[in-house]
Amino acid sequence: MKHDIENRKDVEQLINSFYDKVKRDNVIGFIFNDVAKVNWEKHLPVMYDFWEGVIFLTGKYSGNPMEVHMKLNQRVKLGKEQFERWIKLFTETVDELFEGKKAGLAKEKANGIATIMENKITSSFSIIR
């Protein structure tokens, strides 16, 4: 039986499972593996802090994800397809592992974050053109 996201350990399980899918994904995997060349040992703890903050309001994360993604967009075009795939993988992972209010909140926040990033990136891209 599934349980809700209750603590950092659950957040780590979610993020590890999610990024395992991302690394193998044929739509967005190359962005992380080949373009950004993510150092997973450094990136994953940052993502734990980020999502723990989103779900539990811990305030542990400090960074500017919008800036990071804007710079990445200069190297590879990020658009609707990539953001839709990211949210699909994230939502699937949450649903496979958890159920409850915090799980629902995580999916809701992820969808909002992806939508905002996509809108800002695609609108700034069209302005630059």
Q: What is the pLDDT of residues 32-83, one digit of tens each?
A: 999 999 999 999 999 999 999 999 999 999 889 999 999 999 999 999 999 9
CATH number, residue 65: 1.10.490.10
Expressed as residue numbers, the domain containing 107 is 8-128
Report the C-alpha gap between 7 and 4 in whole angstroms: 9
DSSP letter assigned to residue 34: I
Residue 3: phi and psi, rounded to 5, are -125, 175
Compute the radius of gyration of the chain from its Cα atoms. 15
Report the C-alpha gap between 6 and 66 in whole angstroms: 27
- Domain annotation covers residue 72: yes
Q: pLDDT class for 123, splitting at 50, 70, 90?
A: confident
- Domain annotation covers residue 2: no
Q: How many domains does the chain have?
A: 1
Q: pLDDT class for 12, splitting at 50, 70, 90?
A: very high
The neighbouring-strand residues paired with 3 are 98
Place of tokens 């400090």: 62
Place of tokens 């994360």: 61
pTM of the model: 0.92
Place of tokens 């800036």: 67
